[in-house]
Structures are given as structure tokens and as C-alpha cells.
Amino acid sequence: MGLLYRCSACDKEMVLESYHQGRVVPCPWCGANEDVPNQLDFQTVYAERAGDESRGRLLLAISVASLLLGCLPAAAIVWWMASGRIGRAREDQREADPLLLNARVIAGVGTVIHALLWGGVAVTQF
Ligand SMILES: [Zn+2]
């Protein structure tokens, strides 16, 4: 879980960590040697990553609770918040936190299930 870096030879993304700085790293996809610049900002990446992880833990807990308690608005809000964080990580060329990805999947499933259930309730009542 580090910085996403695009290979200059095959254009695929590889994940770099701070210890790769200033070194020659072989691309995991095509094997081409890539010079990793010294001035990559890993400090910010690691700080943002820690923030994503703690937010991911919270959103995951809320998404599971909303799934169990049948709270459609909470599931929808978690899905939206997790999607925002994941999108921002990708814009910043960071890997998305797995907790955020899991929270979004669970919240998405919860939103769909509850929407179907509430839709079913509405149909049977009218
Ligand atoms: Zn490559």
C-alpha cells in the first residue's frame, strides 16, 4: 500500500514504498528497469494512508451495523463517503485502503438489499 507509479515502458501501475526512492526497480509487469525519483512525497502518502485506514475502520463498522440494523440511509451515506475517499486516493496516486473498499462493498450490498426490502414493503402495502 504505497504510491502508485506508472511504468514508462508498459504504462501499467506499480506500487512503490519509501525504500524504493532513488533506486532502480524492475517493473512487476514487463520487467523493465525503472528509475525511481528521489523527490517522491511519501510523507504525505503515508499520512493520508493512515487517515484512510482509520476512516475505513469506522466506515466498515457503520456499514456492517447498518446492514444488520436495516438502516438504509446509513448504508447509502457510508457508500458515498467510502467512494469519495477511494476516489481521492486514486487522484492522489495512492492505493485505496482495503478497509474502505470493503466498507463500500458492504454498504453497497446493504443499500441494494434494503432498497429492495423497502420497495417490497411499499408494494405489498399499496
Ligand atoms: Zn512495465
Tell me what pLDDT residue 104 has: 96
Tens digits of per-residue pLDDT, 62-99? 999 988 887 888 999 999 999 999 999 999 889 899 99
CA of 69 to the centre of ligand 1 (A): 46
| Largest pairwise CA distance in the chain | 67
Q: What's the mean pLDDT in 4-19? A: 93
Report the pLDDT value the prediction gives residue 51, as an integer from 0 to 100: 93
Q: In angstroms, what is the span from residue 51 Cα to ligand 1's centroid? A: 30
Buried b or exposed e, range 74-87, using 16+ CB within 10 angstroms: bbbbbbebbbebbe
- Dist CA 98 CA 109 (whole Å): 16
Q: Cα(11) to centroid of ligand 1, in Å?
A: 6
Q: How confident is the model at residue 109 (pLDDT cuts 50, 70, 90)?
A: very high
- Output the CA 113–ligand 1 centroid distance in Å: 41
Give SS3 for 38: coil
What is the per-residue pLDDT for 67?
86
Residue 120 has pLDDT above 80, yes or no: no
Cell 525504500 sits at which residue? 19
In this model, does residue 58 exceed pLDDT 70? yes
How far apart CA 49 and CA 3 sit, in angstroms, is: 10
Grid cell listed for 52: 484512510
Q: How far apart are CA 101 and CA 118, in angstroms?
A: 25
In degrees rounded to 5, what are phi and psi of residue 91?
A: -65, -35
* CA distances to 11, 64, 73 from 15, in Å: 13, 30, 35
What's the 37 CA to ligand 1 centre distance in angstroms?
16
Residue 122 has pLDDT above 90, yes or no: no
Question: How far apart are the CA of 35 and the centre of ligand 1, in A?
Answer: 12
* Per-residue confidence (pLDDT) for residue 98, from 0 to 100: 94
Start-to-end C-alpha separation, the chain:
50
More confident residue, 34 or 115: 34
Q: Whole-model pTM?
A: 0.78
Mean pLDDT, range 16-37, rounded to an integer: 94
Q: How far is the CA of 29 from the centre of ligand 1 (A)?
A: 5
- Residue 62's nearest CA partner among 103, 101, 102 is 103
